[in-house]
Amino acid sequence: MTLDRTAFFIDGDWAAPATGDTIQVVSPHSEQVVATVPEGSRADIDAAVAAARRAFDEGPWPGMTPEQRIEVVQNFSNLYAAKLGEMAEVISTEMGAPLSFSNLAQAPAPWMQIEAFLGIARTYPWEETRAGALGEVLVRREPVGVVAAIPPWNVPQFTIMSKLVPALLAGCTVVVKPAPETPLDTYLMAELLQEAGVPAGVVNIVAAGREVGEHLVRHPGVDKVAFTGSTAAGRAIASICGEQLKRVSLELGGKSAAIVLDDADLAATMEGLKFTALMNSGQACVAQTRILASRANYAAVVDALAETVAGMAVGDPLDPATEIGPMVAQRQQERVEKYIALGQEEGARVVVGGNGMPDGLSCGWYVRPTVFADVDNRMRIAQEEIFGPVLSVIAYDDVDDAVRIANDSEYGLAGTVWTGDVDAGLDVARRVRTGTYGVNTYTMDFAAPFGGYKSSGVGREFGPEGLAHYTELKSIYKP
């Protein structure tokens, strides 16, 4: 089966690109080209926005009842559910996620989002009557308009669905700009949208790089930008949207802390941290890469973490046994290796890992999963998002000190506490300034809002709050 493509999905059909530029999708494992697809230009974005604009301004989608839109999105969900295995394999092929993670999160979790938003939409107050001070007021929630949805490469379908599905249910039309590293999954998604009966122009997909992405953000035909990615890129997008008074929601970076209290079951904690700290080979904004341990229990936590990480299988992402795969690109491999070298320069101690290829591998953009001990929270490896399998163990004096260290970050996206006392864990959770938090676990419940404090973003995804970002409020005053 070839993964090569020659067109974009624009105005309900496959459209020839405006230029002959192409993107070569390279396997992070083999370093071989696995597919060639067109690379979007400004002209392609213009065509996609024009189609979305027509579909919103003239087409049936915004004027359909919520129930009619729900029916179409339910068709899409049913079709998507039948393609989970194929979607997982495509994403592992293009960006190197271990297939075990793709079968858990890269494909099923996006489908779970669709179903969750469908449930929310069925009871959402699209129109309600309120008793006002001067009489009855009709409050409507109407679609915000044309949405530019810009996902990153690390969890492409997951981050697309958090934008696409609420936008569709609200009556918006959408232009999706996938990252150039991960365009392949969106072709499968487009085929399912087409088969589901989504009207022409309601969803348009053009893969492109950063400069063309900026053209989409600035485009006067776009009413709202929904972006997931780095904090630096988020700041630039927020600046543009601020100038234009354009609606924007941003899900950005993180440097989350996992606080290990002394009464925690250490074996269970380590099993939990394998996922919460190293999911997707560490390429996750919510990864808990700062491990906080008390001075009294520090050596035990370091030893347990070192044993856990050293025992994780590193290799071919399509091998079901693999737990840590390659980095998405050579530049990401180089970035992580520079941070590993920097950590040693800063005085941190490598307990497991370090620079160099993992044992048994001679090609691919791999790094050795690394655990640093003797880390001060002021070090760059403790403050900056590395986006790879690199963990820093930081000592704290008492619970108050642990909370202080956890909060000593420009980010506030996620976090966990590990303890035998759930009430004590909840007390810690209430004090750490992050948008999401877990006690003895970390997960995302699609009925609840997800997003960050501080430099981790603006706005929320999932839940009714996530749907609300794609609506405008209108008050109609009755006589």
Tens-place pLDDT, residues 96-124: 999 999 999 999 999 999 999 999 999 99
Which residues, at least 6 apart from 53, have a Cβ–Cβ distance to it below 8 Å? Answer: 146, 173, 221
Return the DSSP state at 202. S
Query: Which one-letter amino acid corresponds to residue 399?
Result: V
Q: Per-residue confidence at 293, pLDDT binned at 50, 70, 90? A: very high
- What is the maximal distance between C-alpha atoms in the chain? 77
Q: Kindly report whether the global pTM for this prediction surpasses the value 0.95.
A: yes
Q: What is the mean pLDDT of residues 46-67?
A: 98
- pLDDT tens, residue by residue, 326-361: 999 999 999 999 999 999 999 999 999 999 999 999
Torsion angles phi and psi, residue 152, rounded to 5:
-90, -175
Helices (H), 198-265: 210-218, 231-244
pLDDT beyond 60 at 468: yes
Q: Per-residue confidence at 2, pLDDT binned at 50, 70, 90? A: confident
Computed over every residue of the chain, the mean pLDDT equals 97
Q: Per-residue confidence at 454, pLDDT binned at 50, 70, 90? A: very high
Cα 18 from Cα 43, distance rounded (Å)? 6
pLDDT beyond 60 at 367: yes
pLDDT beyond 90 at 91: yes
- CB neighbour burial string for 446-459, b if at least 16 within 10 angstroms, e if fewer: beebbbbbbbbbbb
Active site residues: 251, 285
Which pLDDT score is estimated for 61? 98
Cα 286 from Cα 12, distance rounded (Å)? 35
pLDDT beyond 90 at 1: no
Tell me the percentage of the chain whose pLDDT exceeds 70.
100
User: Which of 213, 186, 199, 160 shows the shortest CA–CA distance to 42?
Assistant: 213
Using CA atoms, how far residue 384 sits from 176, 201, 231, 342, in Å, is: 29, 40, 11, 11
Q: Per-residue confidence at 256, pLDDT binned at 50, 70, 90? A: very high
Distance spanning both ends of the chain, measured CA to CA: 64
Which residues, at least 6 apart from 400, have a Cβ–Cβ distance to it below 8 Å? Answer: none
- pLDDT tens, residue by residue, 369-426: 999 999 999 999 999 999 999 999 999 999 999 999 999 999 999 999 999 999 999 9
Cα 373 from Cα 381, distance rounded (Å)? 11
Least confident of 1-15, 40-54, 332-346, 365-379: 1-15
> Which helix (H) or strand (E) segment is 123 a member of?
helix 108-123
User: Which of 208, 153, 197, 142 shows the shortest CA–CA distance to 175?
Assistant: 208
Which pLDDT score is estimated for 479? 87
Strands 127-131, 173-176: parallel, antiparallel or unpaired by DSSP? unpaired
- pLDDT tens, residue by residue, 296-308: 999 999 999 999 9
Contact 343, 375 (CB under 8 A): yes
